[in-house]
């Protein structure tokens, strides 16, 4: 027990120290180089986690208000929780000042330094149930200590969780702000977005990242964590997170024949029966191993470091993307591997005819997610037409993610079916200013965020740009109305960006009054707050690391990148595929195998009627 005691007090001391140092840092936040962040030296390998802190300064007041409300709610909940914990444990050992930081520093708690302690309410272990029989004093003490250790550990663990504030803009220029922690998948983030936007929750909704430097777009897969890829963005990035419908996201599961029987006549494929499609999916996605579409054909590839594009015969295999070198056959042994998919993602590209003199505009690239700028490590490929590009990109996704993709689709379908009716209801309800929302977080956000269109960008661009892409024709987005306080009820798509444009000094820290949370004991908990809803979103830790204050003022937003926000939508929704989708009618013939059987039995009767001449040849 002494060991544990000693260890525990050590830990508490450490936490204490850290808290103090954090406080010190917070005071000196505007300093260019906080000690915890390695200054970029010869080569900057450290990824700009801290840079994201700066992003919040870009936010509009209303966003900040909403977020602030969330945070305060979280913190007070934490405090109360903690107080109850303290009460139950009746600890004699004094708790070190729990590292709850003043909120003056409105930055992101994203940090590479994982040892920074912070508290948060949602994962704190529930206080132990009171022992039924009266245990001995020693046992009791032991129990208390163990509990305290557990509690502290939980807190430390929670403090390690990275969180990001992501701003999601919608196509009409409005935006949503979300707190995303690193354990959340894109699926969960989308569920949050569905709640906030009241859209129809269909399976095509997709969270995408766009990169204006590379002119790329990639839809995150539903099982991915959102924080990880966003953490690799550079501080001065103009990348955005876009929330929109993309017809090609799960097209392979609705019309697998287009991908698995692509060689066949397109017209005949359109008439495929639902039953046959199901069988195709079963064959390719439900076996022991995923079968990747047997894509092959001529693509253009940009030579390494050169400007020219060369034609090569490419083949897709589960193990990677291959091409057959000049003068060789396309036998497996002669193939050259261009890239394997373990470490790269596939991105759609836009306007590469201009940018890289590509033969067509139907290009895609393969790159490591961390690469953000032009590099020799990016593989540039170009297809003859859009359908081919969709085939290859989808094929590569299947090769990379395998069965997971199918799982994602099934989950999305379940979600769409489950929430369809609910979404419809809320669309009507949302005309009132306060939107009913199940989580306190969403409530706060909606209540505080009368989504004014982004001052210079949203409406300005919206009006000066071409109409929405064909896929949107069925559901024209309502024009953004700056006069209405609540967000437009069901925007068909939303544009998002993590805003990190402005220099961190734009919002002085003092403008946000710190909540008085520093001193112990915390205020007594109001009874109704003692229990948090189980699905409560992970609140941010109340302590904030200081900014990596040495940020240079980023370049002013390039008007070109703003085009992207809108025009990218042209890229993806595949008009042809979409069309097919709309006219699909389910059909239910008997199972094919059964059919074969029956027919063969008919055959067997034929055999019977034949004279048994064959006997002689067989025996």
Residues 273-332 interacting with other proteins (rule: CB under 8 A) = 276, 279, 283, 287-292, 294, 317-320, 322, 329, 331-332
**By the 8 A CB rule, do 179 and 55 touch?**
no
State how far the alpha carbon of 425 is from the alpha carbons of 198, 202, 431, in Å: 9, 15, 11
Site for other proteins in 56-115 (CB under 8 A): 112, 114
State how far the alpha carbon of 202 is from the alpha carbons of 209, 224, 356, 394, 414, in Å: 19, 19, 36, 19, 10
Closest residue by Cα to residue 499 from 431, 579, 424, 557: 557
Q: Which is nearer to other proteins, 552 or 604 (CB)?
A: 604
Is 338 near other proteins (CB under 8 A)? no
Q: Find the shortest distance in angstroms from Cβ 83 to other proteins.
A: 22
- Binding track over 17-56 against other proteins, x by CB under 8 A: ---------------------xx-xxxxxxx---------
Peptide linkage before 324 cis (omega within 30 of 0): no
State how far the alpha carbon of 244 is from the alpha carbons of 207, 241, 593, in Å: 7, 10, 40
Q: Spell 297-309 as b/e; 16+ CB within 10 A means b.
A: bebbbbeeeeeeb
- Helix intervals (H) in 222-361: 227-231, 251-254, 256-260, 266-270, 274-285, 352-356
Applying CB under 8 A, which of residues 1, 24, 150, 511 lies at the interface with other proteins?
150
Q: Which is nearer to other proteins, 7 or 433 (CB)?
A: 7
Q: Find the shortest distance in angstroms from Cβ 378 to other proteins.
A: 8
Q: Find the shortest distance in angstroms from Cβ 343 to other proteins.
A: 6
At 504 the three-state DSSP class reads: coil
Q: Looking at the chain, how many residues does it have?
A: 619
Q: Which is nearer to other proteins, 192 or 225 (CB)?
A: 225
Q: Find the shortest distance in angstroms from Cβ 300 to other proteins.
A: 22
Q: Spell 341-360 as b/e; 16+ CB within 10 A means b.
A: beebbbbbbbebeeebebeb
Q: How far apart are the first and last CA of the chain?
A: 86
- Among the listed ranges 196-204, 438-446, 451-459, 593-601, the one in contact with other proteins (CB under 8 A) is 593-601
Q: Which is nearer to other proteins, 340 or 419 (CB)?
A: 340
- Among the listed ranges 116-124, 461-469, 493-501, 599-607, the one in contact with other proteins (CB under 8 A) is 599-607
Applying CB under 8 A, which of residues 375, 434, 464, 511 lies at the interface with other proteins?
375
Q: Find the shortest distance in angstroms from Cβ 141 to other proteins.
A: 16
Applying CB under 8 A, which of residues 21, 28, 311, 370 lies at the interface with other proteins?
370
Q: Find the shortest distance in angstroms from Cβ 98 to other proteins.
A: 18
Q: Spell 262-271 as b/e; 16+ CB within 10 A means b.
A: beeeeeebee
Angle at 302 between CA 300 and CA 306, to 5 degrees: 145
Q: Find the shortest distance in angstroms from Cβ 602 to other proteins.
A: 7
Is 234 near other proteins (CB under 8 A)? yes
Q: Which is nearer to other proteins, 61 or 278 (CB)?
A: 278
At 336 the three-state DSSP class reads: strand
Applying CB under 8 A, which of residues 369, 482, 503, 514 lies at the interface with other proteins?
369
CA distance 6 to 431: 59
Q: Find the shortest distance in angstroms from Cβ 121 to other proteins.
A: 20
Angle at 492 between CA 497 and CA 473, to 5 degrees: 125
Site for other proteins in 108-147 (CB under 8 A): 112, 114, 146
CA distance 412 to 200: 12
Applying CB under 8 A, which of residues 32, 131, 377, 385 lies at the interface with other proteins?
377
Q: Which is nearer to other proteins, 24 or 614 (CB)?
A: 614
Angle at 164 between CA 162 and CA 168, to 5 degrees: 155
DSSP 182-228: TT-BHHHHHHHHHHHH-----TTEEEEEEETTTTEEEEPPTTSBSHH
Applying CB under 8 A, which of residues 310, 328, 560, 595 lies at the interface with other proteins?
595
Q: Find the shortest distance in angstroms from Cβ 268 to other proteins.
A: 8
Closest residue by Cα to residue 439 from 74, 14, 37: 74
Site for other proteins in 488-547 (CB under 8 A): none
Q: Which is nearer to other proteins, 150 or 414 (CB)?
A: 150
Angle at 42 between CA 209 and CA 107, to 5 degrees: 45
DSSP 546-608: PP-TTPPPPPPPPHHHHHHHHHHHHHSS-HHHHHHHHT-----PPPHHHHHHHHHHHHHHHHH
Q: Which is nearer to other proteins, 157 or 506 (CB)?
A: 157
Q: Which is nearer to other proteins, 433 or 596 (CB)?
A: 596
- Among the listed ranges 177-185, 217-225, 340-348, 487-495, the one in contact with other proteins (CB under 8 A) is 340-348
**By the 8 A CB rule, do 260 and 230 touch?**
no
Provide the CA 590 distance to its chain's centre, in angstroms: 40
Applying CB under 8 A, which of residues 28, 311, 343, 354 lies at the interface with other proteins?
343
Q: Find the shortest distance in angstroms from Cβ 612 to other proteins.
A: 7
Site for other proteins in 548-577 (CB under 8 A): none
Is 587 near other proteins (CB under 8 A)? no
DSSP 404-427: HHHHHHHHHHHHHHHHHHHHHHHH
Q: How many residues bind other proteins (CB under 8 A)?
A: 81
Q: Which is nearer to other proteins, 414 or 595 (CB)?
A: 595
State how far the alpha carbon of 92 is from the alpha carbons of 124, 142, 613, in Å: 20, 12, 100
Q: Which is nearer to other proteins, 293 or 459 (CB)?
A: 293
Q: Which is nearer to other proteins, 45 or 307 (CB)?
A: 45
Q: Which is nearer to other proteins, 583 or 605 (CB)?
A: 605
Q: Which is nearer to other proteins, 197 or 284 (CB)?
A: 284
- Among the listed ranges 78-86, 126-134, 362-370, 424-432, the one in contact with other proteins (CB under 8 A) is 362-370
Q: Find the shortest distance in angstroms from Cβ 104 to other proteins.
A: 27
Closest residue by Cα to residue 181 from 237, 228, 223: 228
Q: Find the shortest distance in angstroms from Cβ 305 to other proteins.
A: 11
Per DSSP, 268 falls in state: H
Q: Find the shortest distance in angstroms from Cβ 154 to other proteins.
A: 9
């Amino acid at each position: 027990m002494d060991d544990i005691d000693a260890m525990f007090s050590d830990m508490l001391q450490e936490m204490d120290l850290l808290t103090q140092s954090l406080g010190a840092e917070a005071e000196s936040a505007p300093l260019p180089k906080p000690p915890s962040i390695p200054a970029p030296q010869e080569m900057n390998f450290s990824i700009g986690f801290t840079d994201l802190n700066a992003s919040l300064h870009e936010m509009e007041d209303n966003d900040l208000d909403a977020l602030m409300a969330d945070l305060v709610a979280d913190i007070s909940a934490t405090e109360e929780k903690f107080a109850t914990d303290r009460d139950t444990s009746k600890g004699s050992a004094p708790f070190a000042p729990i590292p709850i930081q003043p909120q003056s520093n409105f930055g992101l708690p994203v940090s590479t330094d994982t040892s920074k302690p912070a508290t948060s309410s949602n994962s704190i272990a529930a206080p132990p149930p009171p022992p039924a029989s009266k245990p001995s004093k020693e046992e009791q003490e032991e129990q208390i200590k163990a509990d305290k250790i557990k509690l502290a550990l939980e807190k430390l663990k929670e403090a390690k969780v990275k969180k990001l504030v992501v701003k999601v803009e919608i196509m009409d220029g409005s935006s949503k702000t979300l707190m995303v922690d690193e354990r959340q998948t894109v699926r969960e983030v989308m569920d949050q977005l569905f709640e906030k936007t009241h859209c129809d929750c269909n399976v095509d909704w997709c969270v995408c990242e766009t990169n204006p430097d590379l002119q790329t777009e990639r839809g995150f897969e539903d099982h991915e964590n959102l924080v990880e890829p966003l953490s690799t963005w550079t501080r001065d990035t103009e990348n955005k997170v876009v929330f929109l419908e993309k017809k090609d996201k799960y097209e392979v599961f609705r019309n697998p024949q287009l991908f698995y029987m692509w060689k066949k006549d397109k017209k005949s494929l359109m008439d495929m029966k639902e039953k046959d499609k199901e069988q195709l999916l079963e064959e390719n996605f439900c076996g022991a191993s995923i079968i990747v579409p047997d894509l092959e054909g001529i693509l253009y590839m940009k030579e390494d470091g050169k400007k020219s594009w060369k034609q090569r015969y490419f083949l897709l295999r589960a193990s990677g993307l291959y091409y057959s070198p000049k003068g060789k056959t396309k036998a497996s042994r002669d193939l050259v591997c261009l890239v394997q998919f373990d470490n790269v993602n596939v991105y759609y590209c836009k306007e590469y005819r201009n940018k890289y003199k590509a033969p067509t505009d139907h290009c895609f690239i393969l790159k490591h997610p961390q690469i953000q700028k032009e590099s020799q490590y990016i593989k540039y490929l170009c297809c003859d037409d859009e359908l081919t590009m969709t085939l290859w990109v989808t094929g590569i996704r299947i090769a990379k993610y395998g069965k997971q993709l199918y799982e994602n689709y099934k989950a999305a379908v379940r979600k769409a079916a489950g929430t369809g009716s609910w979404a419809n209801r809320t669309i009507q309800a949302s005309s009132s200013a306060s939107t009913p929302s199940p989580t306190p977080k969403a409530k706060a956000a909606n209540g505080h965020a009368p989504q004014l269109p982004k001052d210079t960008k949203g409406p300005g661009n919206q009006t000066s740009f071409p109409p929405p892409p064909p896929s949107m024709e069925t559901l024209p987005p309502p024009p953004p109305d700056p006069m209405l306080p609540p967000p437009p009820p069901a925007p068909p798509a939303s544009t998002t960006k993590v805003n990190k444009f402005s220099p961190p000094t734009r919002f002085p820290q003092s403008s946000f009054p710190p909540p008085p949370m520093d001193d112990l004991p915390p205020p007594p908990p109001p009874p109704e707050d003692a229990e948090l809803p189980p699905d409560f979103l992970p609140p941010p830790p109340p302590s904030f690391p200081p900014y990596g204050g040495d940020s240079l003022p980023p370049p002013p937003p390039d008007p070109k990148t703003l085009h992207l926000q809108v025009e990218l939508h042209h890229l993806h929704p595949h008009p042809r595929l979409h069309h097919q989708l709309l006219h699909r009618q389910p059909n239910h013939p008997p199972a094919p195998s059964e059919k074969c059987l029956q027919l063969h039995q008919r055959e067997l009767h034929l055999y019977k009627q034949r004279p048994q001449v064959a006997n002689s040849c067989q025996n």
